[in-house]
A and B are shown apart, each in its own frame.
Chain A
């Protein structure tokens, strides 16, 4: 695979999002994913949920990974956490480097020390991501005691402080509450406070606002932005919603069928999307003041167990032509800090 590309003299897929020399890049990326392939062995064949994904996140940066469900964005996140259920899942190849250190191949014991304290994660549905039978205090305290060298009383103080940081009123009283006594917005705040208490350098937020009301969504997003700056924490934001992306992200990676289709800064991707799939996603989002029905992208994503050759988006692409059905296009650098996977960019 690599040999073929090398012979053709084009950038290999694996080199991902590395910035061109001379750009104003910080010293070293916080997280660097290279040519990651996460497969699931099922009785219907190998499902290639993540099939050669590369991206990187710099310290203190917010990277949004955008795509429809099944595009592999969540599986990538679970691969980073080392939480892909195995069997049936497995990481077939690639590298996940946290501050230069490859996480793939680390023992479960080593990962325990990384999860929570260096990479934390919050989930889509705050209604189901807290254990219903324990109080907020017991759930926060056990994580703090697990990762930080403090005593019980101190853990309680940290918990109260963190609840206050995420603007939960009367935090000492809330500690004694069970999850069912809190609203969805409050629970997501508790989830965020719980992660902040462990002082991670990267927070993975998997659709953190999708299950919430619109007004609460906005509050949670501004809270994330606020604590991100305050704690100088990088955020990997997984979403399908460009509205969310525009509010808080610095950079975007668009994923489809287990691959990155386009990456760029938020501004350039919204103003001049170059991949037809990015354009389709952008035009399918609702806009204020625009009437008429939403434009959904027609068709269904390809079968990941047994994909046919050709661009995975070809069957749904508005700009498809015969040449699209031949081969998977390469992810090609088309400008500083910008890459696109489309055959047009090859011939351009």
Chain B
């Protein structure tokens, strides 16, 4: 540093004004960057390479799911008994074949059409319901808010997985019942996230000021509170999407969710269980896929949380 200072001063000795402009330009740039928080968020997220890789991976998975008939090399239900249980790298079947001789890669791609919506749709529905409940409870803390939160407290007395399995099990197998059970167990958790955020925001001065100015409650909730509540909810929702994908597959694995022969990652894992000793790849492939999807949602959620946290943006 000191050396460059000296050499620079020797080569251009009377350049003070140029230097001064450089200073001013840099200060102005710092001010500009501090202005846009959305920009800061984007910069922070982009710096998080794991989160970006996760987002990319999930995008690829979703595109493959949508275009499954084009992408998948075979019909997921068409069996070739001659090639039963053939392993990785079998000619034309890169991920091998299952116990009935069906192409595992094709079933994996088609399986996403069940395994993803069965978990992601309930997260979205539960988030919508929780936003409503949590905003009301956080904004009107006495009376209705107290009632909502006390009722939801009851659901915290059950281990989540057990409760969802019991509900889905009693309702009987099938995709709608799995989704319903996920919605029921998620609502208490997401509502608490919304409630806590709403409570914090509702006590801030600018909300009090808006109230003093005679703004209606509905306007304050939609206009001032909701935007500030969204970021923790998005972070929570993203992280839980991975967990719920694994859980929904778990229900199907147990035979309490969607039923065979439908291609689903949980069912594929279960089908591999009976041939575990001779063909471990049959259950390994869908299991790894579930792991990767859950991992990607977790890492993306972590990345969003860090990027949305002003303290961590540095």
A contact residues vs B (CB 8 Å cutoff):
1, 4, 48, 51, 300, 303, 307-310, 314-315, 321-328
Contacts and interface: CB of A to CB of B under 8 A. Distances in A.
Contact of A309 (B8, B17, B24): B8
A300 B27 contact: yes
14 contacts: A4-B3, A300-B27, A309-B9, A309-B19, A315-B23, A315-B24, A322-B20, A323-B16, A324-B16, A325-B17, A325-B20, A326-B13, A326-B15, A327-B6
The 8 closest A-B pairs by CB, nearest first: A322-B16, A325-B19, A325-B16, A327-B9, A309-B5, A326-B9, A1-B2, A325-B20
Given A307-B1, A325-B19, A326-B9, 17 more contacts: A48-B1, A51-B1, A300-B27, A303-B26, A309-B8, A310-B19, A314-B23, A315-B27, A322-B16, A324-B16, A325-B15, A325-B16, A326-B13, A326-B15, A327-B9, A328-B2, A328-B5
B5 A327 contact: yes
B2 A325 contact: no
A4 B1 CA distance: 13
Interface string B7-34: 0110001111101101110110010000
A327 B12 CA distance: 11
Task: With a 10 A CB-CB cut-off, give which of B2, B17, B30 has the most chain A CB atoms.
Answer: B2
Interface of B is mostly: helix
Contacts of A325: 15-17, 19-20, 23
A112 B184 CA distance: 57
Contacts of A307: 1
Task: With a 10 A CB-CB cut-off, give which of B1, B13, B26 has the most chain A CB atoms.
Answer: B1
A51 B2 CA distance: 10
Nearest to B22: A308
B40 to A, nearest CB: 14
Contact of B6 (A4, A308, A314): A4
Given A300-B27, A315-B23, A326 B1 contact: no
- Range for the number of chain B residues in contact with chain A: 20 to 34
Contact of A326 (B3, B19, B26): B19
Contacts, number: 51
A315 B22 CA distance: 11
Contacts of B6: 4, 327
Nearest to B12: A326
Contacts of B2: 1, 4, 328
B68 to A, nearest CB: 41
Contacts of B24: 315
Contacts of A323: 16
Nearest to A310: B19
Contacts of A326: 9, 13, 15-16, 19
Contacts of B14: 322
A325 B19 CA distance: 6
B14 to A, nearest CB: 8
A119 B106 CA distance: 70
Interface string B50-79: 000000000000000000000000000000
Contacts of A4: 2-3, 6
A322 B9 contact: no
Contacts of A328: 2, 5
Contacts of B8: 309
A94 to B, nearest CB: 14
A324 B5 CA distance: 13
A303 B8 CA distance: 19
A310 B9 CA distance: 9
Interface in B119-152: none
Contacts of A1: 2-3
A191 B228 CA distance: 42
A323 B19 CA distance: 10
A322 B17 contact: yes
Contacts of B19: 308-310, 325-326
Nearest to B14: A322
B179 to A, nearest CB: 43
A327 B4 CA distance: 10
A54 B1 CA distance: 18
A310 B21 CA distance: 13
Nearest to B21: A325
B146 to A, nearest CB: 30
Nearest to B23: A315
A51 B15 CA distance: 24
